[in-house]
A = this chain, B = another copy of it.
């Protein structure tokens, strides 16, 4: 009867090219009257349906480093030929395309392959698909994709990640539904830039080897490091300097130990903060974490040396000074002199004055041979300061070298 009404409609409106709802309805009724959406719409059922899948990224909602998850929003444009939905526009009042609800026709059961939720049907019951008169079907499901993405934070915050978004035709094999790619990457025309990540490259790959119809879109992203430099690296570098400052504090001030302990605890706090930012993984360790642990170890060492220093400082003057300590004192004096000679021949007068001061008592030479415990702690301060300063410098250079080379 639907066919009859179509004929009638054609008769009434004849050559006129205006399309009425009745005419469209009769065309739709006609097309779907014998349609079974369970049957693949190929005239030859031994051939696969060919899907042209392209992906338009709209925004990179977030990268969750801890749970190794990428959240993106975008839409797929899936095109195929439905050989059962063809008509002659000329004999249908010039109607060349119609819109049908997605659930009224056959569509591939394509799903997100590497998601972390149950499979969900793409699109929705209220989505329309566009059908052209030659059978071309255009389906554009918009979706928020939560995909697994292994995050390698070794070179954090200069890390580069590659995240894949995989689409699979779940029940059909490659001999029923075939995917081919029409574009060489992800369509980024509608993409709005993220404040944290820069997209460097995108890729599409249609896998050939397996029986599964699968298309893999990969997004190569690079972290914009400025925020982390500003809020994490700089405070850590500051803390590192503060560690060394312990040796600038004289033992007499009586704050050396508590100061060193405070710096140590600050490192522990920072390690905790860093750990909440990065994934729990025993396979890779961020260079930054390693740097922090070395700094912590350095800080522990500083605490030990400081405790020793304080102990020596409060040692009774009657206790004789052993050889290694004497050597340290001499080393300090040697460096001090070299420095003063190098930098300040102009300070000649000063040093003369000093000599005068010194010569009031015994000769300075003898003085140096019989150092007190106070001089020992001063020597330790001096030597430790410069050794740790060098250590700090080399560790920091190592950090940046590794990170920048690695990324």
Interface residue tally on A, bucketed by range: 35 or more
Asked if A253 and B254 sit within 8 Å, CB to CB, the answer is: yes
Asked if A258 and B250 sit within 8 Å, CB to CB, the answer is: no
Q: Name A130's contact: one of B171, B245, B319, B353 (CB within 8 Å).
A: B171
Choose the segment among A201-209, A269-277, A327-335, A396-404 that binds chain B (4+ C-beta atoms closer than 8 Å): A269-277
Q: CA of A193 to CA of B143 in the docked complex: distance in angstroms? A: 27
Asked if B253 and A257 sit within 8 Å, CB to CB, the answer is: yes
Given contacts A73-B116, A258-B258, A282-B195, are A170 and B140 in contact (CB under 8 A)? yes
Q: Chain B contacts of A117 at CB under 8 A?
A: 144
Asked if A285 and B170 sit within 8 Å, CB to CB, the answer is: no
A19 part of interface (Cβ distance < 8 Å): yes
Asked if B109 and A118 sit within 8 Å, CB to CB, the answer is: no
Q: Chain B contacts of A193 at CB under 8 A?
A: 283
Q: Chain B contacts of A134 at CB under 8 A?
A: none
A residues with CB within 8 A of B: 17-21, 23-25, 28-29, 34, 36, 38-46, 59, 61-62, 67-68, 73, 83-84, 95, 99-101, 104, 109, 111, 115-121, 124-130, 140, 142-144, 148, 150, 170-172, 176, 192-193, 195-196, 224-228, 230-231, 234-235, 238, 241-242, 245, 248-259, 261-266, 268, 271-273, 275, 279-285, 289, 293, 296-297, 300, 303-304, 307-308, 310-311, 313-314, 318-320, 322-323, 347, 350, 353-354, 357-358, 361
Asked if A249 and B311 sit within 8 Å, CB to CB, the answer is: yes
Q: Name A347's contact: one of B73, B144, B280, B322 (CB within 8 Å).
A: B322
Question: How far does the Cβ of A16 sit from chain B's closest Cβ, in whole Å?
Answer: 11
Asked if B300 and A242 sit within 8 Å, CB to CB, the answer is: yes
Asked if B253 and A314 sit within 8 Å, CB to CB, the answer is: yes
Q: Can you report 19 A-B residue pairs in the complex whose CB atoms are below 8 A from each other? A: A20-B43, A21-B45, A38-B99, A62-B67, A99-B176, A109-B126, A109-B127, A121-B125, A128-B171, A140-B171, A195-B279, A245-B307, A248-B308, A253-B314, A255-B257, A258-B262, A318-B354, A320-B354, A322-B350
Q: Chain B contacts of A308 at CB under 8 A?
A: 248
Q: Name A319's contact: one of B101, B230, B354 (CB within 8 Å).
A: B354
Q: Chain B contacts of A280 at CB under 8 A?
A: 195-196, 227
Given contacts A255-B254, A266-B265, are A25 and B18 in contact (CB under 8 A)? no
Given contacts A117-B144, A250-B310, A280-B227, are A40 and B21 in contact (CB under 8 A)? yes
Give how many copies assemble into the complex. Answer: 5
Q: Chain B contacts of A254 at CB under 8 A?
A: 253-255
Q: Which of A128, A170, A171, A353 counts the most chain B CB atoms within 10 A?
A: A171
Asked if B38 and A23 sit within 8 Å, CB to CB, the answer is: no
Q: CA of A251 to CA of B252 in the docked complex: distance in angstroms? A: 11
Q: CA of A361 to CA of B146 in the docked complex: distance in angstroms? A: 82
Asked if B46 and A19 sit within 8 Å, CB to CB, the answer is: yes
Asked if A172 and B289 sit within 8 Å, CB to CB, the answer is: no
